[in-house]
Amino acid sequence: MSAKDKQKNPALLLDPIAAAGLLSISPRKLWEMTAKREIPRVRLGRCVRYSVKDLERWIDEHKEGGSHEHGQ
C-alpha cells in the first residue's frame, strides 16, 4: 500500500507501539494501563490492538481543566 493510499484509508487498529506513540506515552505505560483495563483495546486472538476512534474518545473522556464548551 502506498503512502497516498494510507492517507485515504488510515489504519483502524494500531499495534501497541503505534498506539503508545499516538498517545505520547511509553509502550510499558500503555501495557500497564491495558493490564489494569484502564484503556480500551481489541483482542484478536493473542494480539492486542487499539482502535484510533476508541483512543480519541478515551482522551476526550479524560480531559481535565478548562472549558469543554464553546463560547465560554
What is the mean pLDDT of each successive set of 10 residues along the chain, which is 72 residues long?
62 95 96 96 96 95 75 48
pLDDT at position 10, please?
77
The model scores a pTM over 0.85: no
Task: Say how far apart CA 26 and CA 49 lie, in whole Å.
Answer: 15
Q: What angle do CA 30, 47, 62 make, to 5 degrees?
A: 30
The sign of the dihedral angle between the CA atoms of 32, 41, 47, 24 is negative
pLDDT at position 6, please?
56
In this structure, the strands spanning 42-44 and 47-51 are antiparallel
pLDDT at position 25, please?
97
